[in-house]
């Protein structure tokens, strides 16, 4: 046992000695490492310390900050603002700083923020407390400049709000609401333009970001350098605000009455390709592009499923003028007549017999004319005026299939027009025409096109035979007011001869004077045009697309318009009536001369006064003094244009057109009908909406503005009574 105890003691001693050696070596290793590291750090500091310090400092302070540019504006041809961007701010919080403050100070900050950001104090407190270690967190985006100024002025314990800062941004504004919505498109929540001008010219509108960065200078001084942002360019449209406004007003009036599923209107200059107006229905508000409450009604919109809402939005965003393929119907017929005349395949003196239908191919059902009893014998001009299917089929049969398709291509069918708007469709054509296809093509069915294709092709028919490229942007101006792009008229090719163009242009006057387009006649002007009725597929459903395309004046067409309504009553004549109402105001506005004014004795004449830049009240007074009446076009109180111009001699009691404008499109209210009421009754009726000016105890016999005109809320209504 003693020997065993002795061995145990010896083993324990050896183990202890080994442990001591290990501890010694480990300690020696760490001590050596620390001495070596201290030596290395000292050596680096002495030799390169200053350089390393500068590098670290530069990295700490040299991080770049971004200065966002302001997105460019969109204006009409007369530089009137349609889309703009206004300064706004993101509200930035530093939760770590805020949470370190006293409770009273924190609560004061929460209260100040709640007042301007439309959030509750509790929500803001929870927002801060959920991010205790963050130094940067966005509480609110795109807060208005006025509200941010109030926050900047707010003091807590005599100092600005601690832990609260602001980053400049911008808010996209569409002050005219739905105005030209499909042409403009919208700026989406992802910071990108979508549809229309906003998408097509997104790069030009974006501008270039600026930079803020700090650095060392002269080895000691810390400086901050700023590279300024370049704001986005301004897009100048060919659209005329006044024309667009009148087009929209007229279209909406008839849409409300007839309830088509789609509708469109284009007004353009046939000699340049400039588009003066573009309207599409259904519509949306670019400023609230993902909601259709105002268009459909709150209850209807709320009742839709998410899938149904998405479909409604897609339908509303679609520009019917460039993205809808449809059969043009009889509006195509003049183009075929011109092609046949240019090819000399028809004799312009030939007479066409219409019995009400025509068998094109043996064994096939006859193709009927819209006038079932037939038109009888007709001249070429009468075939067009009466929109006779039988006569047109006979004309189409004189062209070979290849020649027919050649002219379809020359007119631009089957190809995009190049209007420089996203999503343009090109229509659908056959590659070869049999007898049946050629007959249906002759009456504008069996192939499809877009409205912009048709009006572009039709313009070549009336401008001397030249196919132009339509365009909606006239120029682009950068933030230094330098024009960086200017559009110009582009002639793509000559389609028909000038002589053919002149003859067909004259033929089409009869359509409006005595034919199917009589509703399009505008008193005092020579108008030409063509109606269109296309039966939709399937034909047995008997649903129609009605249209009218017209121009003025006959001798030198300066404006052309295409009106399309999808699924309205076949014989309603709506497109022609819409064209007439539009052109009755557009033609004077464009200062297109009246035809053949009759001579009137001097004593029966009045000189038109200058009323531009006055308001409706002063204009009414001046015109009344000259024994002239007026008609207002547009909305608002300010007169921005008149027709005829100052100094023009007009027969007394004539009407002067006043083109109006408002700077507050969201604050408009319709003037009520007050005639027949007493002043007291009128005041009760209008309430706080208007201020009534006038005196007398009789009934109101005259009011300015007239009933139905939209002016800014709280405007005055001047009334005259019978006593």
Mean pLDDT of 628-640: 90
Distance of alpha carbon 553 from alpha carbon 446, whole angstroms: 32
Residues 393-431 as b/e (b if ≥16 CB within 10 A, e otherwise) read bbbbbbbeeeebbebbebbbbbebbbbbbbebbbbebbe
Domain residue ranges in the chain:
2-61, 66-236, 323-511, 597-661, 666-723
Cα 291 to Cα 312: distance, rounded to the nearest angstrom = 10
Sign of CA dihedral 455, 461, 464, 469: positive
List the structure tokens of 170. 């911008």
Omega before residue 644 within 30° of 0, cis = yes
Q: How far apart are CA 392 and CA 383, in angstroms?
A: 7
Q: What percent of the chain has a predicted confidence (pLDDT) above 90?
A: 58
Q: Is the pLDDT of residue 46 over 80?
A: no
| Interval 28-45: pLDDT, tens | 666 666 666 666 666 655
CA–CA distance, 74 with 96 (Å, rounded to integer):
42
* Range with lowest mean pLDDT among 105-114, 260-269, 399-408: 105-114
Q: How far apart are CA 180 and CA 235, in angstroms?
A: 14
Structural contact between residues 487 and 215, judged by C-beta atoms closer than 8 angstroms: no
Residue 620: strand pairing partners: none
Beta strands in 574-699 (DSSP E): 605-607, 629-633, 638-643, 649-651, 655-661, 668-670, 691-693
Residue 57: its pLDDT value, please? 47
Q: Show the tokens assigned to 58.
A: 């530069």
Tokens of 343: 């090819």
- The pLDDT of residue 11 is 59
| 508-533 pLDDT, tens digit each | 999 999 999 999 999 889 999 999 99
Residue with tokens 């299939």: 401
DSSP 698: S
Whether 439 has a pLDDT exceeding 70, the answer reads yes
Q: Are 616 and 658 in contact (CB under 8 A)?
A: yes
Mean pLDDT of the chain: 87
Name the β-bridge partners of 447: none
User: Could you give the CA distance from residue 306 to residue 313 in angstroms, rounded to a whole number?
Assistant: 11
Beta strands in 107-217 (DSSP E): 137-144, 155-156, 159-160, 164-173, 186-187, 193-194, 210-217
Q: CA 117 → CA 155, 213, 240, 532, 697, distances in Å?
A: 17, 30, 38, 55, 51
pLDDT tens sequence across 538-589: 888 889 999 999 999 999 999 999 999 999 998 889 999 999 999 999 998 8
Per-residue confidence (pLDDT) for residue 599, from 0 to 100? 42
User: What pLDDT does residue 17 have?
Assistant: 65
**What is the rounded end-to-end Cα distance, in angstroms, of the chain?**
144
Q: Work out the number of other CB atoms within 10 angstroms of the CB of residue 17.
A: 10
> Which CATH superfamily groups domain 323-511?
DD-peptidase/beta-lactamase superfamily (3.40.710.10)
CATH H superfamily, domain 66-236: Penicillin-binding protein 2a (Domain 2) (3.90.1310.10)
Provide φ and ψ at 461, rounded to 5°: -70, -30
Whether pLDDT at 310 is above 60? yes
For residue 535, pLDDT over 70 is answered with yes
Residue with tokens 């010219």: 201
Q: What residues does 378 pair with on adjacent strands?
A: 352
CATH fold of the domain at 666-723: Trypsin Inhibitor V; Chain A (3.30.10)
Does CATH number 3.40.50.620 belong to domain 597-661? no
pLDDT at residue number 470: 97
Kindly tell me if the per-residue pLDDT of 8 is higher than 90.
Answer: no
Q: Which alpha helices (H) appear in 207-330, and where do they start and end?
A: 241-258, 293-296, 298-303, 306-317, 320-323
- Tell me what pLDDT residue 698 has: 86
Beta bridge partners of 718: 693, 704
pLDDT at 595: 60
**Position 471 confidence tier, pLDDT thresholds 50, 70, 90:** very high
Q: By three-state DSSP, how is residue 367 classified?
A: strand
Average pLDDT over residues 192-197: 95
pLDDT, tens digit, 9 for 90 and up, residues 246-280? 999 999 999 999 999 999 999 999 999 999 999 99
Residue of higher predicted confidence among 38 and 715: 715
| Per-residue confidence (pLDDT) for residue 63, from 0 to 100 | 46
What angle do helix axes 241-258 and 574-589 make, rounded to 10 degrees?
160
Domains 66-236 and 666-723 share a fold: no
Taking CA atoms, 343 is separated from 347, 406, 431, in Å, by 11, 11, 21
Q: What are the tens digits of pLDDT across the range 586-622?
A: 998 898 876 633 344 567 778 899 999 999 999 999 9
Evaluated on CA atoms 474, 480, 484, 488, the torsion sign reads positive
Tokens of 454: 């048709």
Q: In the prediction, which pLDDT does 10 show?
A: 59
| Helical packing angle, 333-342 and 435-442, nearest 10° | 110
DSSP H or E stretch at residue 239 = none
H or E stretch covering 469: none
- The pLDDT assigned to 60 comes to 41
User: How many whole angstroms from its chain centre is CA 82?
Assistant: 8
- pLDDT one-digit tens code per residue, 67-78: 678 899 999 999
Longest Cα pair distance anywhere in the chain, in angstroms? 156
| Whole-angstrom distance, CA of residue 496 vs CA of residue 337 | 11
Q: What is the pLDDT of residues 656-710, one digit of tens each?
A: 888 888 888 878 899 999 988 999 999 999 888 899 998 888 889 889 999 988 9
Distances (CA, A) of 686 to 574, 682, 695: 34, 6, 16
Greater confidence (604 vs 284) lies with: 284
């Amino acid at each position: 046992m003693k020997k065993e105890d002795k061995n145990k003691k010896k083993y324990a001693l050896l183990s202890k000695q080994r442990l001591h050696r290990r501890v010694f070596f480990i300690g020696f290793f760490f001590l050596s490492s620390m001495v070596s590291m201290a030596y290395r750090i000292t050596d680096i500091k002495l030799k390169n310390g200053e350089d390393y310090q500068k590098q670290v400092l530069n990295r700490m302070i040299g991080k770049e900050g971004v200065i966002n540019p302001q997105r460019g504006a969109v204006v009409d041809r007369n530089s009137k603002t349609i889309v703009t961007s206004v300064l706004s701010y993101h509200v930035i919080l530093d939760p770590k700083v805020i949470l370190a403050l006293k409770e009273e100070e924190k609560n004061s900050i929460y209260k100040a923020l709640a007042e301007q950001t439309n959030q509750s104090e509790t929500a803001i407190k929870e927002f801060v407390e959920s991010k205790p270690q963050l130094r940067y967190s966005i509480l609110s985006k795109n807060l208005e400049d006025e509200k941010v100024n109030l926050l900047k002025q707010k003091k807590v314990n005599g100092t600005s709000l601690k832990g609260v800062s602001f980053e400049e941004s911008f808010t996209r504004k569409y002050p005219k609401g739905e105005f030209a919505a499909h042409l403009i498109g919208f700026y989406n929540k992802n910071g990108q333009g979508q549809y229309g001008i906003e998408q097509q010219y997104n790069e030009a509108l974006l501008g270039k970001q600026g930079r803020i960065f700090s650095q060392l200078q002269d080895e000691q001084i810390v400086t901050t350098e700023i590279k300024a942002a370049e704001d986005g360019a301004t897009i100048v449209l060919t659209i005329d605000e006044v024309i667009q406004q009148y087009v929209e007003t007229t279209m909406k009036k008839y849409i409300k009455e007839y309830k088509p599923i789609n509708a469109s209107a284009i007004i353009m200059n046939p000699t340049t390709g400039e588009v003066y107006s573009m309207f599409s229905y259904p519509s949306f508000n670019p400023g609230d592009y993902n909601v259709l409450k105002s268009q459909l009604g709150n209850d209807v919109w709320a009742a839709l499923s998410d899938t149904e809402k998405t479909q409604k939005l897609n339908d509303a965003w679609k520009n019917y003028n460039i993205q809808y393929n449809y059969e043009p119907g009889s509006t195509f017929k003049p183009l075929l007549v011109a092609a046949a005349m240019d090819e000399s395949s028809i004799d312009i003196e030939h007479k066409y017999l219409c019995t009400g239908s025509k068998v094109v191919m043996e064994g096939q059902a006859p193709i009927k004319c819209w006038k079932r009893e037939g038109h009888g014998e007709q001249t070429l001009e009468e075939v067009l005026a009466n929109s006779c299917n039988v006569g047109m089929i006979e004309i189409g049969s004189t062209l070979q299939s290849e020649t027919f398709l050649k002219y379809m291509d020359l007119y631009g069918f089957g190809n995009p027009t190049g209007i420089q708007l996203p999503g343009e469709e090109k229509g659908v054509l056959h590659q070869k025409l049999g007898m049946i296809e050629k007959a249906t093509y002759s009456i504008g069915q069996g192939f499809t096109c877009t409205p912009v294709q048709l009006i572009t092709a039709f313009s070549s028919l009336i401008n001397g035979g030249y196919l132009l490229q339509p365009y909606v942007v006239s120029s682009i101006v950068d933030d230094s007011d330098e024009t960086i792009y200017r559009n110009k008229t582009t002639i793509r090719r000559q389609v028909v001869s000038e002589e053919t163009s002149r003859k067909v242009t004259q033929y089409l006057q009869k359509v409006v004077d005595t034919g199917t387009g009589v509703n399009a006649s505008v008193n005092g002007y020579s108008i030409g045009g063509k109606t269109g009725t296309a039966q939709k597929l399937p034909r047995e459903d008997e649903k129609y697309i009605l249209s009218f395309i017209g121009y003025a004046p006959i001798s030198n067409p300066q404006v052309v318009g295409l009106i399309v309504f999808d699924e309205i009553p076949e014989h309603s004549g709506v497109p022609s009536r819409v064209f007439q109402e539009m052109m009755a105001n557009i033609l004077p506005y464009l200062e297109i001369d009246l035809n053949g004014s009759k001579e009137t004795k001097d004593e029966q004449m009045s000189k038109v006064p200058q009323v531009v830049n006055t308001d409706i009240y002063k204009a009414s007074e001046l015109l009344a003094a000259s024994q002239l009446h007026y008609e207002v076009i547009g909305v608002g109180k300010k007169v921005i244009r008149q027709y005829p111009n100052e100094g023009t001699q007009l027969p007394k009691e004539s009407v002067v057109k006043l083109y109006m404008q408002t700077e507050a499109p969201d604050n408009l209210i319709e003037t009520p009908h007050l005639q027949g009421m007493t002043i007291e009754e009128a005041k009760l009726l209008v309430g706080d909406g208007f201020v009534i000016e006038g005196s007398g105890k009789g009934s109101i016999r005259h009011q300015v503005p007239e009933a139905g005109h939209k002016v800014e809320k709280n405007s005055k209504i001047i009334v005259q009574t019978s006593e």
